[in-house]
Structure 1
Amino acid sequence: MTLRITTWNINSVRLRFELVARFVRETRPDILCLQEIKCRDEFFPLEGFRELGFPHIAICGQPGYHGVATLSKLPLEPLPRQSFCGTEEARHLGAKVALPSGGTLALHNIYVPAGGDIPDPELNPKFKQKLAYLAALAKWERGWTDDANAVLVGDFNVAPLETDVWSHKQLLKVVSHTPVEVEALTKVRVDGRWVDLVRKVIPPEEKVYSWWSYRARDWAASDRGRRLDHIWGSAAMAERTRAVSVLKDARGWPGPSDHVPVTLDFEG
């Protein structure tokens, strides 16, 4: 049996519901983790997603900004929400998932702050918040010792490897690829709990992107992308990892998000 999990920063779930519906019909994920849904819980298109085959839905919404949602064909048991860095922004959802083969999976869906444009925490409060969020995430992770089967997915807003960006040298001082951000994200994995599952399947020397800026006149021709969207897993889930798909074509769909879906297949 296969368990298929997708993460996607949809950049407004109501605006792009039809794109999500197309993706679901074509790819058939068992669990879909969305970030930046940009709506309150009561305005989330619940019925539409139920009709797409997701009876189990968890939402952590916010009016106009942020927000995450986890849609599942398998039962979900909510886990405590984490605010990290002291804010009430809707950036985390945790749930226990009943696995088809028995046992449970701890699944955490997160949306790390983007950090603004200036990579200086003294000059840019948004960048300071981003670093604080990553530090809090690392501290929380170190205190989290249960659940051998665990997956952490979402828009981490950091492209850690040189091959995760179109130009390592040109982006060293650009938010999302600065050394301080890469170091902060690395500290989340410092004890070895998490395996970068996308890079377990796709060799680190191969270029992989999941985001292309709206500012690009022709995003496909310039192909100046970054890998901001990640799927990490515990050692047990790394052993179950079978395949990864980054649906670059979705960036060219009508009215797209600037992110594309990242999907991973596990042995269920």
Structure 2
Amino acid sequence: MVSVTTWNINSVRLRMPIVERFLKEQSPDVLCLQEIKTEEKFFPFEAFRDLGYEHIAVHGQKGYHGVATVSRIPFREFSRHDWQDNGEARHIGVELLGPGRGMIVENVYVPAGGDIPDREQNLKFGQKLDFIERMTRWAETVDRPSLIVGDFNIAPLESDVWSHKQLLKVVSHTPVEVDSLQRFMDAHGWSDIGREQVPAPERYYSWWSYRAKDWTKGDRGRRLDHMWASPELARQVTGHHIHENPRSWEKPSDHIPLTTEFSL
């Protein structure tokens, strides 16, 4: 069995204590982090190695964005795509070399897209749609059993948000974003593992705003984080876990970890 976790950590150095706690409690084989907010030279390599995660790939930049994949399983760096088309560190891919040999794990942080869902009024929203379009063109070429995980910053289904009606015009749940993400799914035939394991309309959120002092009050969540697999890989899924507890830990991320297990 191989287990893979994805987590938008919102600053890996600031939140290393909760990362350490999570790894000690759950021990996934592979951890994909987004929004690490650090350059590679400042990444906490030793802290991860002390926890048994000796294999590390980092694509970082100063203060913003950034992704990293750490693993107990040997891997090789497989890819770095600039789907933002401006040099931002938002993707890294690795190929597992031990258990699960040959499996590709793509780790991505899709732009949030600003506040106004109109590319004419909001450059960031246009950049987000263009980012997903470049991902879609890439997905058409994928020919290996692949898992793409991360913060997609889109909650596609009505049951992926606390109020479909109230969020229809809010960035992350607008029809144009949902349509864009659907084209990405169709380009490779990705399987949405989360919703295969927790079928709609069951409750499933991965993000709650910092604006609420008590994130559980009203439960105003969104499913922004995803784990999508190639069809042949999706057939080997044996479990999927939504770890909500870390949202209540000291100095939490606004996102929670998700873990999928495979019989590889």
TM-score (normalised: structure 2): 0.98
Unaligned runs of 5+ in 2: none
> Over aligned residue pairs, what C-alpha RMSD do you find?
1.0
Q: Deviations over 1:109-141 (max 9, x none)?
A: 000000111111111111111011001100111
Question: Which amino acid in the other structure matches residue 208 of structure 2?
Answer: W
**Residues of 2 paired with 1:227 and 1:196: CA distance?**
12
Report SS of the residue matched to 2:82. coil
Indicate the residue corresponding to 1:113 in structure 2.
111
Displaced runs of 4 or more, over 3 A: none
Q: How much has 1:47 moved relative to structure 2?
A: 0.3
Kindly state the Cα deviation for residue 85 of structure 1 after the two structures are TM-superposed.
Answer: 3.7
Given candidates 223, 237, 247, the residue that maps to 1:241 is 237
- CA contact 1:114–1:130 (8 Å) conserved in 2: yes
- Aligned equivalents of 1:87, 1:141: Cα separation in 2: 20
Q: Return the letter of the residue paired with 2:186.
A: V
Letter in 2 for 1:140: W
Q: Establish whether residue 61 from structure 1 lines up as the match of residue 60 from structure 2.
A: yes
* Equivalent pair of 2:94/2:106 in contact (CA under 8 Å): yes
Per-residue deviation, 1:99: 4.6
Partner Cα separation in structure 2 for residue 104 and residue 193 of structure 1: 19
Residues 29-108 of structure 1 mapped to structure 2, 5 A cutoff: 29-100=28-99, 103-108=101-106
Deviation for aligned residue 1:192: 4.8
Contact kept, 8 Å, 1:211 with 1:226, in 2: the verdict is yes
| Residue number in structure 2 paired with 1:26 | 25
**Aligned match of 2:140:** 142
Q: Give the Cα separation in 1 of the matches to 2:148 and 2:56.
A: 17
2: distance between equivalents of 1:124 and 1:227?
23
Q: Residues 137 and 187 of structure 2 are in contact (CA less than 8 Å); yes or no, is this contact kept in structure 1?
A: no
Match of 1:216 among 212, 218, 223: 212
In structure 1, give the amino acid aligned to 2:47: G
- String of CA shifts for 1:46-93, please: whole Å, max 9, x gaps: 000000111100000010000000001111111231001411000000
Contact 1:99–1:105 (CA<8 Å) still a contact in 2? no
Task: Measure, in 1, the Cα distance between the counterparts of 2:200 and 2:51.
Answer: 35
Task: Measure the CA separation in 2 of the matches of 1:80 and 1:201.
Answer: 28
Q: Note the C-alpha offset of 1:107.
A: 0.9
| % identity of equivalent residues | 52
Equivalent residue of 1:189, what SS?
Answer: helix
Q: Secondary structure at the match of 1:264?
A: strand
**1:160 is aligned to 2:193:** no
Paired residues of 1:40 and 1:61 also in contact (CA < 8 A): yes
Distance 1:3 1:190 in 2: 26
Alpha-carbon offset, residue 98 of structure 1: 2.1
Contact 1:61 1:67 in 2 (8 A): yes
Normalising by structure 1, what TM-score?
A: 0.96
Q: Letter of the aligned partner of 2:179 in structure 1?
A: E
CA shift, 1:189, in A, is 1.0
Q: Number of matched residues?
A: 264
Q: Which amino acid aligns with 1:22?
A: R
**2:123 is equivalent to residue 125 of structure 1:** yes
Name the CA distance, whole Å, in 2 between partners of 1:132 and 1:4.
31
1:264 and 2:263 aligned:
no
